[in-house]
């Protein structure tokens, strides 16, 4: 029976998977830590685990398709959002099996990772069980309304139906754009200021927000939290510690007036 990925596609995974190329940083980390030696290729943006020694195939949006094909992988790991459909179609046309992930929530991610690793022939690792335990208890404290920018020039923010939005929801953060028709809408500063947020969450990826970006919230009278983009947006081994890391960073938010 063919394996079925997150987008409902039947993936012709061979009986034994010995070579994997990952086009997604969090999936690279997941495989590298769970089955050392299985991964033979990854993008230039795959920074975890540190010191990973595999062939590099450029970026998530511009992979070197000839290099990927040349590595002769049994399975290519991709993401519906991070990778271009045209690239994935070209890899399939070259005869490669492509597994696509598309989690929209923490439970989705945990289930997705378990099924993906099983397709690779890898038993559920300890970090996955640790992540399940870490995210099992519901949030029980106060809640805050927030805007979560993800890009500047132009300004963009988390909208509806996003994995990162679900992560924050489980930490007591209500996204003011959670019902927006777009997942990553463009917004302007005037709207942001009038949006009724108590908190502005600034991750360090995909855009590396830093202290120099506080000019945008001058005069807002809101709390600002700088958080780890890896723990907010990656789904993989980082999920085991993401709840504690992000909770501490949100608690350390500073008031901007």
Three-state SS for 76-116 is EEEECCCCCHHHHHHHHHCCCCEEEECCCCHHHHHHHHHHH
pLDDT digits (tens, 9 = 90+) for 225-238: 999 999 999 999 99
Q: What percent of the chain stands above pLDDT 70? A: 99
Q: What is the CATH number of the domain that holds 217?
A: 3.40.50.1980
Residue 209 resides in a domain: yes
The CA–CA distances, whole Å, from 138 to 10, 48, 120, 171, 199 equal 34, 29, 31, 8, 21
Ranking 6-20, 64-78, 107-121, 184-198 by mean pLDDT, the lowest is 184-198
Residue 118 resides in a domain: yes
CA angle at residue 24 from 19 to 26, to 5 degrees? 100
Tokens of 109: 């991610």
Q: What is the pLDDT of residue 189?
A: 78
Categorize the per-residue pLDDT at 32 as very low, low, confident or very high, splitting at 50, 70 and 90.
Answer: very high
Q: Helices 126-135 and 106-119 sit at what angle, rounded to 10 degrees?
A: 170
CB 225, CB 202: distance < 8 Å: yes
The CA–CA distances, whole Å, from 217 to 178, 186, 212, 253 equal 21, 17, 11, 13
Range of the domain at 73: 3-124
Instruction: Tell the burial category of 31 from Cβ atoms under 10 Å away from its Cβ (0-12, 13-18, 19+).
Output: buried
Pair (204, 247) in one structural domain: yes
CA angle at residue 237 from 134 to 109, to 5 degrees? 75
Q: How far apart are CA 21 and CA 149, in angstroms?
A: 31
Between 216 and 146, the higher pLDDT residue: 146
Q: What is the pLDDT of residue 84?
A: 97
Pair (176, 209) in one structural domain: yes
Q: What is the pLDDT of residue 257?
A: 62
CB 171, CB 126: distance < 8 Å: no
Q: How far apart are CA 228 and CA 75, in angstroms?
A: 30
Our count of domains for the chain comes to 2
Ranking 22-26, 66-70, 163-167, 216-220 by mean pLDDT, the lowest is 216-220
Q: What is the pLDDT of residue 5?
A: 97
Tokens of 136: 């099992």
pLDDT digits (tens, 9 = 90+) for 137-196: 999 989 999 999 999 989 999 999 999 999 999 999 999 999 999 999 999 877 777 778
Given 94, 124, 154, the domain boundary residue is 124
Q: What is the pLDDT of residue 43?
A: 98
Pair (68, 153) in one structural domain: no
Residue 135 resides in a domain: no
Q: How far apart are CA 36 and CA 128, in angstroms?
A: 16
Residue 132 resides in a domain: no
Question: Taking 80 as the threshold, does the pLDDT of residue 67 lie above it?
Answer: yes
Given 65, 96, 124, the domain boundary residue is 124
CB 125, CB 110: distance < 8 Å: no
């Amino acid at each position: 029976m063919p394996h079925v990925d997150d987008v409902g596609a039947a993936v012709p995974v061979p009986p034994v998977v010995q070579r994997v190329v990952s086009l997604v940083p969090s999936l690279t980390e997941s495989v590298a830590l769970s089955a050392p030696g299985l991964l033979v290729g990854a993008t230039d943006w795959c920074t975890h685990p540190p010191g990973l020694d595999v062939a590099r195939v450029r970026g998530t949006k511009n992979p070197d398709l000839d290099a990927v094909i040349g590595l002769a992988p049994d399975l290519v790991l991709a993401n519906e959002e991070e990778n271009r459909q045209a690239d994935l179609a070209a890899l399939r046309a070259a005869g490669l099996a492509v597994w696509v992930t598309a989690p929209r929530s923490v439970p989705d991610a945990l289930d997705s990772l378990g099924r993906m690793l099983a397709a690779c022939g890898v038993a559920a690792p300890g970090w996955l069980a640790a992540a399940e335990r870490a995210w099992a208890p519901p949030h029980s404290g106060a809640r805050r309304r927030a805007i979560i920018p993800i890009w500047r020039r132009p300004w963009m923010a988390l909208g509806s139906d996003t994995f990162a939005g679900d992560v924050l929801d489980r930490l007591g953060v209500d996204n003011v754009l959670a019902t927006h028709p777009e997942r990553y809408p463009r917004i302007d500063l005037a709207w942001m200021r009038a949006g009724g947020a108590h908190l502005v969450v600034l991750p360090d990826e995909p855009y590396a927000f830093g202290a120099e970006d506080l000019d945008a919230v001058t005069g807002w009278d809101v709390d600002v939290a700088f958080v780890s983009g890896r723990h907010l947006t990656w789904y993989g081994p980082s999920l085991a510690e993401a709840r504690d890391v992000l909770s501490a960073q949100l608690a350390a938010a500073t008031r901007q007036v």
